Amino acid sequence: MSERFWRILGSGWFLGAAAATFTVFMPLVLIPYAEKAAAYTPAGGGFDTTFFYTPGQALDRAAAFDAPGRFAYIADRWTMDLVWPLVYGAFLASAAAFALRRLGAVGGFAAWFRALLLSGPLLDYGENIAATVLVASVPTRPLGWAWAASALTPAKWISIGAAGAGILGLYVALAARAFRAARP
């Protein structure tokens, strides 16, 4: 992606807008969505609420949905869950771009970290595709999609966790720089 794109993401106004969107989205959209999803999701049936599950468990989770639950699950993946990765992805990418820009980070580390930031939402979309294929395929049991879902879920969580930890590290570095600059 171009440097101009990352400069825009790293601007204060974009970070403010992304943080506000994230903050408003959580209570107004995500929490009501989770409550609605709990009503149609069988016990232990969620795909992205656990860190890891086996391909066999993925197949069992898909089969545990009744027909209306399968329809609701698929509808949610292709409505709200298209927006959520954009919301948290924009917030994480903007928070990181803001810090990277102020630290003057360029080159290898910045490029690697930017790729990490983008991988979380992309892996989330991949997980959603695999899980919806599984749920839509009931009563068949497509093992390849089960493997994909069971691999993409922990990869997504690891990527998002690493991005969050990296962003925290960037802001610690910014604070340390400000502290050193303020000392006489």
* Position 70 in a domain: yes
- What is the per-residue pLDDT across 48-105, written as a single tens digit (0 to 9) for each? 888 999 999 999 999 999 999 999 999 999 999 999 999 999 999 999 999 999 998 7
Residue 1 predicted with pLDDT over 70: no
Q: Is residue 23 assigned to a domain?
A: yes
Asked if residue 118 is part of any domain, the answer here is yes
Work out how many domains the chain is built from and give that number: 1
Residue 158 within any structural domain of the chain: yes
Residue range 10-21: average pLDDT? 97
Asked if the structure places residue 32 within a domain, the reply is yes
Domain membership of residue 54 (yes or no) is no
3-state secondary structure the chain: CCHHHHHHHCCHHHHHHHHHHHHHHHHHHHHHHHHHHHHHCCCCCCCCCCCCCCHHHHHHHHHHCCHHHHHHHHHHHCCHHHHHHHHHHHHHHHHHHHHHHHHCCCCHHHHHHHHHHHHHHHHHHHHHHHHHHHHHHCCCCCHHHHHHHHHHHHHHHHHHHHHHHHHHHHHHHHHHHHHHHHCC
pLDDT in tens, 131-158: 999 999 999 999 999 999 999 999 999 9
Query: Which residues span the domain enclosing 93?
Result: 3-38+61-182
